[in-house]
Amino acid sequence: MADFVKYSKGMKYISPPLDVVKNILSMGTWNFPALEGIVEAPILRADGTVLDQEGYDKATRTYYIPAPNLKVPAIPKEPTKKEFKKALNLIEEIFVDYPFTDDISKANTYALLLTPLIRAIFNGLAPMAVIDAPDRGTGKSMLADIVALIATGRTASLMTAPTEEAEWRKKITSTLLEGAKTILIDNVTRPVHSDSLATVLTSSFWEDRVLGQNKNVRIKHTATWIITGNNIKISGDLPRRCYWIRIDAKTTQPWKRDGFKHKNLPKWVSKKRGKILAALLTIVRAWLVAGAPKAKVKSLGSYDEWVKIVGGILKFAGISGFLENIDAFYERTDDESLQWEDFLMGVRRHYGKHSFTTKVLHNRLKEDDNLRGCLPDSLSDAFDNPKKSFERVLGKALAQKEDVHHGKRQIRIKRAGMDGHAVRWKVVRKKLANSK
């Protein structure tokens, strides 16, 4: 380690001189153990033991540097019933005043709280927590920051939701390069659709070009993602990569509420952080000592290992409801499938069993206001944008939706041959048992 300084009307710190940097880089391989990350609070190892000793940990390839003033009580290897109950009571106290709509959202919040601490005992992939409410000022961002404060000692790294896919990639890359461990996409006001965000949520590593440089980076991805907003709408592949936490103060101007047990919850959490961390790890240790009993929980695709472990811990702790609102979440947040069902039904009514090209369909949309009114939002925006070739956008959209089933009739678009170089399409649907 070395500090480089420059004296000019006083001393100031500077970056290492280029010659020094080149000399160090020219030395080739260094005989140091691999370092995958730095943590400032105790975490769980893959074997279920707790990393709570300062310094380098070979098992996790992690360096533990306790945050200043952080005092974590000893975590019992085999917690007693009394220690387990005390730990659970402290965690429950954090959310004593939070207006969760039901026990399901509360259980999902406990899952979010556990996730950063137990990544080593599952494959590292965890879905994004969606925290929404019907009105502003309900406490969505504060809830996200409480999770981040407990896990990292600081509020979450903020990221706004871009409108262009290229911007999503840039923001994801820059945020991960900063070493963010808890990432908050805060206060979204428009429907969220991003292939890049969907990709990073199912990837252990993220690869992209560094902004302003002609090189790619490969970043190990262990961040916990949270998104907040009022009545959030999410489409594409994102809904099945998320879980839902709903809060509702059931009052006008919810930000004016008072009478809370902890008037300044973030301050209380910061003060109690060491004890809260110990309580969470005590609960997990108790579950592991009991043989890591499993729970029957809804499947969540790429995150089944996370579901199995978190679901088991929550059931063991007597916390019910985990992920039980997932179907309601899909129906509420993802309008895209419903929009495509309406659109394809409209196309089917016009063309019946006959096929068509995108050019023919585009011309029909110009003439038919009713059919044009059925366009999904993504296509409607492109139709009204003179800078975009709508036929090309329409063709790509139909190709992406090929053989995707929508609604009870399982209506779908499929290829029906070629017309020169143009693809012909037709809409088909499943015949219902009671239909004629």
Per-residue model confidence as pLDDT tens digits over 238-279? 988 999 999 998 888 887 788 888 889 999 999 999 999 999
In whole numbers, what is the pLDDT of the chain averaged over residues?
90
d(CA 321, CA 258): 28
CA–CA distances in Å: residue 376 to residues 80, 87, 196, 336: 56, 49, 21, 7
Structure confidence at residue 431 (pLDDT): 61
Query: Which one-letter amino acid corresponds to residue 88?
Result: L
Domains within the chain, CATH numbers bracketed: 5-64 (no CATH), 81-333 (3.40.50.300), 336-428 (no CATH)
Average the pLDDT over 204-211 and give the result.
84
d(CA 315, CA 299): 16
What DSSP designation does 384 have? T
Per-residue model confidence as pLDDT tens digits over 344-362? 999 999 999 999 999 999 9
Residues in CB range of 205: below 8 A, 6 or more apart? 218, 219, 220, 221
Average the pLDDT over 123-131 and give the result.
90
Residue 220 structure tokens: 């190990």
d(CA 99, CA 46): 35
Structure confidence at residue 267 (pLDDT): 94
Quick check: 32 pLDDT over 90?
no
In this prediction the pTM is: 0.80
Percent of the chain with pLDDT over 90: 57
SS3 158: strand
Per-residue model confidence as pLDDT tens digits over 399-413? 989 998 887 778 999
Average the pLDDT over 37-61 and give the result.
89
Per-residue model confidence as pLDDT tens digits over 267-318? 999 999 999 999 999 999 999 999 999 999 988 888 999 999 999 999 999 9
Structure confidence at residue 435 (pLDDT): 45
C-beta separation of 262 from 270 below 8 A = no
Which strand (E) or helix (H) includes residue 69?
Answer: none
Handedness of CA 219, 157, 319, 232 (dihedral sign): negative
